[in-house]
Structure 1
Amino acid sequence: MVKHSERYLEFWRERHLCTLTTLRPDGSPHVVPVGVTYDAEAGLARVITSGTSAKARHVGAAGAEGARVAVCQVDGRRWATLEGRARVRTEPDRVAEAVRRYAERYQRTPRPNPARVVLEIEVERTLGNG
C-alpha cells in the first residue's frame, strides 16, 4: 500500500473533474474527462463508464493482464496522478460499489445505465502535490 499525506487524500475526496489516459491500439494516448474515486486503503481507483465506450474497449483489449493507465486531477497549482493497471469489471456488486463511491464524491447519482461497467485501477504509483 502506498502511503499518502492526509492533504493528498483530502484532495482525492474533494469534487474535481479528472482525466483518464488509455492507449489506443496504435499506441497513441486517448485522454478523456472522467469522474474518479480513490480508495487508498484498497489501492484502487475506480471509473464508471459504459461498456461500449472507447476507454472500456481500450482497457478490455489488454485482457486479464490489464491496461496501463493514468488518472489525473488538477486544481490551480495542486495536482495528483494515479498510475496503474486497469481492468474492466462487470460484476454487479463491483459496479454498485463504484456508483456509490462516485455519488459520494460528486454529490450526484449517475443516471441509470444497464451497460455500465467499472474500470478498476490497481494503483502502482502516485505523483503530485495535492
Structure 2
Amino acid sequence: MDRRGGGNRVGAKHILQKHTGSRNPNDSYRKRPVTRSFEEAMANIQAVQKRLVAGEQFETIARELSECGSAARGGDLGVFGHGEMQKQFEDAAFALGVGEVSGPVVSDSGIHLILRYQ
C-alpha cells in the first residue's frame, strides 16, 4: 500500500533543534545563536518525543522550542511536493502516514521531528 495516498504532495509540521554543525547555526526565529552540540540537540529531540508520548500537543511544543520560523505556526511548513525540501526531510515526511510523527530526522538544518497531517 502506498502510504502517501497518491504520493505527490504532503502537509507537514516539524520541530527543529539546531546544533553548531547545522548549515545556519542561528535561531533566526528567536534571534539567538545556537551553541549546542549535535548530541545535545539529539537529547533535546528525544526529550520532545517523550513529551509527545505523554500527550502534549505537537503544535504547542513547536511554538515553545522549534528553531525555525514555522514555530510561530505550530511548526507548520504547509503542503509540499517532491524536490521542495531537503532530501532527508522529504523522504521522512513522505514515508509517514497521515497523523504519524517521525523519529529523529537529521538534515543539514539540524534534527527534526515531523508530523504529517496531509
Q: TM-score, normalised by structure 1?
A: 0.27
Higher relative contact order (CA 8 A, sep 6+): 2
Higher helix content, 1 or 2: 2
> 1 or 2, which has the higher strand percentage?
1
